[in-house]
Amino acid sequence: MSHTSPALEIARTLVSYPSVTPVDAGVQDWIAHRLERLGFTCTHLHYGEVQNLFAVLEPKANTNTAKQGRHFCFAGHTDVVPPGPEGRWTHPPFGAVVTGGRLYGRGAADMKGNIACFIAAVEQYVETYGPPCAPLSFLITGDEEGRAIDGTRRVLEWLDARGPEAMPDAFLVGEPTNPVCLGEQIKIGRRGSMTGHLRVQGKQGHVAYPDKARNPVPDMLRLLAALDALVLDEGNAHFEPSNLEITTVDVGNAAENVIPGDACATFNVRFNDLWDAETLAPHIRKTLDEAGISYELDMTCSGESFLTAPGPLTEIVAAAVARETGRTSALTTGGGTSDARFISRYRPVVEFGLVNETIHQIDEHVAIADLDTLTAVYVRILTLWYA
Ligand SMILES: [Zn+2]
């Protein structure tokens, strides 16, 4: 690999900052300086212990061709998940080692590599065409892999408070969306996520005297069987069927001669746009009520489902991906949640980035060829968007 790759050079620098949520380690300052060289105005937004960056490149003041409704924003996160047990990595997690045509390191694919492609693409675009005819911005957060409370959500509130002019008109989130090859999948929505904590209260006692105790385990099993049998829907044109998974069942009982005092279970529902938190929670309670067993249930929704309907944004991204990768992407809504769930409350958003095969794993890596192709995709998106 002897050719120079601007995206690789940027990605290596980004990966070398150990920015495990919520630590920034200086990575956003580095990005801000790099963008300021191109004429971006950078605002650092600190909320709680989280650092965020909003950078915008305004069109030249005397441009009378400025286009309304054409402010495009690249969105992403500089925080990474912890590297895991020391010594398990073949190459140091923040060493940014390049070997065998790949860049290794925590965040290489999720998602510093993608941010490097954003930057390389914007540099190439501005060097070739000059500043675009409408604003172009970056929304970078340090709180995506964590609780996602003081990150993208807060920056959007800040933008919203500054008035409709300030809010970008369309967003591309650079999450790694492709299972194996670049160009397979563009995400145009996501399922919602709701977690339930279920508890059945019994009465502890000796197994030899069951009449003096009340065993919560059979009741819990009946409730869980009812949940497991629940068919929420059949899915629709853009979404798979909603799904409920039981994730833990706990009685915490270390003794074989004791009837436990209570039983707990946790389940998670990934739901499509046929449901929201308001309709799903009562439906689940009704299902449990029908079992005729008394229980306690807490349900929390960490994100509603959303869908960006096919339109100019999805068409431009799909066209750019097809042109540069030679693949026709599926427009999907699968996978976990991302910060796109916050953006979708304000503006159309799609997600397209690198291959996600090794994200959050030991030896996370990305193909250098993919960094170059993704940069070309992003340049193509900019030329189509600002045409
Ligand atoms: Zn990510």
Q: What pLDDT is recorded for position 256? A: 93
Q: Residue 287 in contact with residue 230, Cβ under 8 Å?
A: yes
For 364, the token pair is 């996370």
Ligand 1 centre and the CA of 81: distance in Å? 9
- Determine the Cα–Cα distance for residues 199 and 296; give it in Å rounded to an integer: 5
Cα-to-centroid distance, 5 and ligand 1 (Å) = 22
Q: Determine the CATH number of domain 192-303.
A: 3.30.70.360
Distance from Cα 363 to the centre of ligand 1, integer Å: 16
To the query of whether residue 290 is one of the catalytic residues in this protein, the response is no
Marked catalytic residue, from 110, 143, 144, 145 = 144
303 CA distance to ligand 1 middle (Å): 16
* pLDDT given for residue 1 in this prediction: 46
User: What does the pLDDT read at residue 37?
Assistant: 97
What are the distances in angstroms from CA 304 to CA 161, 169, 263? 23, 21, 29
Count the Cβ atoms, other than its own, within 10 Å of residue 223. 21
Backbone Cα Rg of the chain: 24
Structure confidence at residue 369 (pLDDT): 97
CA distance 298 to 261: 19
From ligand 1's centre to the CA of 129, what distance in Å? 30
346 burial type by CB count under 10 A (0-12 exposed, 13-18 middle, 19+ buried): middle
Which ranges in the chain are annotated with CATH 3.40.630.10?
A: 6-190+306-385
pLDDT at residue number 64 = 54
Give bridge partners of residue 187 from the DSSP assignment. 332, 351
Report the separation in Å between the CA atom of 359 and the middle of ligand 1, taken as the mean of its atom positions. Answer: 8
150 Cβ neighbours under 8 A, 6+ residues apart: 22, 47, 48, 49, 50, 52, 143
CA dist., res. 272 & res. 348, Å (int) = 18
- Ligand 1: centre distance to CA 190 (Å): 14
CA 40 – ligand 1 centroid, Å? 24
Question: What pTM was estimated for this model as a whole?
Answer: 0.87
- 79 catalytically annotated: yes
Which residue in the list 24, 79, 304, 370 is annotated as catalytic? Answer: 79
Residue 62: per-residue pLDDT: 57
Provide the H-helix boundaries in the chain. 6-16, 27-36, 112-129, 152-161, 216-229, 277-289, 312-325, 340-343, 368-385
Phi then psi for 193, rounded to 5 degrees? Answer: -135, 130
pLDDT in tens, the chain (387 residues): 446 899 999 999 999 999 999 999 999 999 999 999 999 999 999 999 999 999 999 997 655 555 677 999 999 999 999 998 878 999 999 999 999 999 999 999 999 999 999 999 999 999 999 999 999 999 999 999 988 899 999 999 999 999 988 999 999 999 999 999 999 999 999 999 999 999 999 999 999 999 999 999 999 999 999 999 999 999 998 999 999 999 999 999 999 999 999 999 999 999 999 999 999 999 999 999 999 999 999 999 988 999 998 899 999 999 999 999 999 999 999 888 889 999 999 999 999 999 999 999 999 999 999 999 999 999 999 999 999
Predicted local confidence at residue 297, as pLDDT: 98
**237 CA from centroid of ligand 1 (Å):** 26
Tokens of 194: 């709701």
What would be the CATH architecture of the domain defined by 6-190+306-385? 3-Layer(aba) Sandwich (3.40)
**DSSP-derived pairing of the beta strands 262-271 and 192-201:** antiparallel
Classify strands 349-351 and 365-367 as parallel, antiparallel or unpaired: unpaired
| Nearest-angstrom CA–CA distance, 298 and 308 | 30
Left (φ > 0), alpha (ψ -120 to 50) or beta: where does 177 sit?
alpha
Nearest to 131 by CA among 62, 34, 39: 39
How far does residue 75's CA lie from ligand 1's centre (Å)? 11
Contact (CB, 8 A) for 187 and 122: no
Tokens of 142: 């340090």
Cβ count near 275 (within 10 Å): 20
Q: Can you read off the two tokens belonging to residue 66?
A: 């400025």
Task: Give the Å distance between the CA of 110 and the centre of ligand 1.
Answer: 5
C-alpha 83/C-alpha 88 separation (Å) is 9
Q: Is 64 exposed, middle or buried (0-12, 13-18, 19+ CB in 10 A)?
A: exposed
Is residue 241 within 8 Å of residue 234, measured between CB atoms? Answer: yes
d(CA 196, CA 297): 7
Domain span(s) for CATH 3.30.70.360 in the chain: 192-303
